């Protein structure tokens, strides 16, 4: 269970209860007692999505927001002429929103619906639900999804594949990158990480305190400048500072280096949660364990869950921002591929190469939390600041075309 965010008010609560009891004693009148509030619960629903036979799995668990679910096997579910390839958050399928049966999903503030995804049975090329990061040619998206300027940005990489594609993309995002300073990030954040609209427009969009994908709700709010870390603060919600999504202690740590102040991999976050995360790897924690430490938006520091492929302490952002962090890490791995200051750490080999367990987890995170309007706007704003882009936001397919582990 999460720590109570009202823990700090216990003394006041105790006083008020004492006063109420005293009042009751004096008046001799016992009013009706409101029942304890029922915790909000969330459901996980499976839909057959055109299945022709079998039974759709049913999950009757009433999940609380910090619980974890394991996606069911298809069981007897079948569709004539098709293979089951996974559960999809979209009824129309697509690799970017697919999760394999057996995937671990955190229930965070929402009901979840998963549609069976079917692929026409092909006896010559049997279905492989795990898209391998290998072959395939990078092609221009000629729809109107991307502006011509963005399409042109990648012009030299179209038609390439594999290691050649990786090298060309690294060259593209390195050439023209005009690194800002670590101090300059305070100003950059005001254009890259501001809430775009609504009651909190212009305030800090902090993924460690936000509770909604559109930024409209949060555990607490920061105002640029006013709440900028000034060296003090002891509890959540007082100050924001600069969070390296890929902890800087693993790449030298000198504040005048390019990766230390790369706007694509730093965001404004609550100072206390930033300190809690420290330089632990991102990961997925064990299910609701008492030893886990939850922040106010239910980000969590705890022991890695069984089966993750890593056995240490990890920090788990909430689900709606996992894809954001995954794509920031993909950027970091590509931009600094081969950079000798990037050392061995819990999630990477020297040269910013993702370890297989981490690569697998981030691919799942990216698939489960597709590119959002927030990331697209942020990519444009960071480009305006330092003149390079995160290719994995523009072209999510690149995750399937590049191998970031070697």
Q: Partners of 173 in the beta sheet?
A: none
Instruction: Select 133 or 323, whichever has its Cβ closest to Ca ion.
Output: 323
For residue 97, the minimal CB distance to Ca ion (Å) is 12
Q: Which residues contact 292 (CB under 8 A, 6 or more apart)?
A: 285, 286, 300, 301, 302, 303
- In the range 251-310, which residues lie near Ca ion by CB under 5 A? none
Burial of 112 (0-12, 13-18, 19+ CB in 10 A): buried
Instruction: Select 117 or 324, whichever has its Cβ closest to Ca ion.
Output: 324
For residue 245, the minimal CB distance to Ca ion (Å) is 13
For residue 315, the minimal CB distance to Ca ion (Å) is 17
Q: Does 323 bind Ca ion (CB under 5 A)?
A: yes
Q: Does 369 bind Ca ion (CB under 5 A)?
A: yes
Instruction: Select 305 or 322, whichever has its Cβ closest to Ca ion.
Output: 322
Q: Does 210 bind Ca ion (CB under 5 A)?
A: no
Q: Does 372 bind Ca ion (CB under 5 A)?
A: yes
Instruction: Select 241 or 372, whichever has its Cβ closest to Ca ion.
Output: 372
Written as six digits, the tokens of 136 are 């395939």
Q: Does 317 bind Ca ion (CB under 5 A)?
A: no
Burial of 56 (0-12, 13-18, 19+ CB in 10 A): middle
For residue 207, the minimal CB distance to Ca ion (Å) is 8
Instruction: Select 242 or 374, whichever has its Cβ closest to Ca ion.
Output: 374
Piece of the chain touching Ca ion by CB under 5 A; list 59-67, 214-222, 229-237, 372-380: 372-380
Q: Does 324 bind Ca ion (CB under 5 A)?
A: yes
Contact predicate 47/60, CB 8 Å = no
Q: Does 333 bind Ca ion (CB under 5 A)?
A: no
Written as six digits, the tokens of 107 are 């229930």
Q: Does 215 bind Ca ion (CB under 5 A)?
A: no
Binding site for Ca ion (CB under 5 A): 323-324, 369, 372
């Amino acid at each position: 269970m999460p720590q109570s965010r009202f823990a700090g008010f216990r003394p006041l609560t105790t006083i008020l209860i004492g006063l109420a009891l005293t009042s009751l004693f004096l008046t001799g009148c016992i009013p009706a007692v409101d029942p304890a509030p029922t915790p909000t619960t969330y459901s996980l629903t499976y839909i057959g999505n055109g299945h022709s036979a079998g039974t759709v799995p049913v999950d009757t668990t009433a999940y609380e927001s910090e619980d974890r679910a394991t996606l069911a096997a298809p069981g007897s579910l079948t569709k004539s002429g098709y293979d089951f390839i996974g559960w999809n958050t979209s009824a129309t399928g697509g690799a970017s929103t697919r999760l394999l049966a057996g995937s671990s999903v955190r229930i965070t503030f929402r009901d979840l619906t998963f549609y069976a995804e079917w692929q026409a049975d092909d006896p010559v090329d049997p279905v492989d639900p795990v898209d391998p990061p290998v072959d395939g040619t990078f092609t221009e998206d000629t729809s109107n999804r991307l502006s011509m300027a963005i399409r042109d940005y990648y012009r030299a990489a179209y038609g390439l594949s594999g290691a050649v594609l990786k090298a060309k993309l690294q060259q593209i995002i390195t050439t023209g990158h005009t690194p800002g300073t670590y101090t300059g990030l305070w100003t950059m954040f005001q254009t890259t990480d501001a809430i775009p609209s609504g009651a909190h427009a212009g305030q800090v969009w902090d993924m460690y305190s936000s509770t909604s994908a559109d930024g409209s709700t949060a555990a607490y709010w920061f105002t640029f400048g006013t709440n900028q870390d000034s060296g003090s603060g002891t509890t959540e919600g007082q100050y924001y500072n600069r969070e390296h999504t890929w902890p800087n202690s693993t790449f030298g740590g000198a504040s005048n280096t390019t990766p230390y102040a790369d706007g694509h991999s730093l965001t404004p976050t609550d100072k206390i949660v930033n300190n809690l995360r420290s330089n632990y790897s991102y990961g997925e924690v064990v299910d609701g364990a008492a030893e886990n430490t939850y922040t106010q938006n239910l980000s969590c520091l705890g022991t890695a869950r069984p089966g993750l492929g890593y056995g240490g302490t990890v920090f788990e952002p909430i689900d709606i921002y996992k894809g954001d962090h995954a794509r920031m890490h993909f950027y970091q791995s590509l931009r600094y591929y081969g950079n000798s200051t990037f050392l061995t750490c819990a999630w990477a080999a020297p040269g910013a190469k993702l370890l297989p367990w981490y690569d697998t987890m981030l691919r799942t995170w990216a698939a489960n939390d597709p590119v959002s309007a927030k990331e697209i706007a942020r990519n444009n704003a960071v480009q305006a600041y330092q003149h390079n882009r995160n290719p994995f936001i523009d072209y999510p397919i690149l995750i399937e075309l590049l191998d970031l582990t070697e």
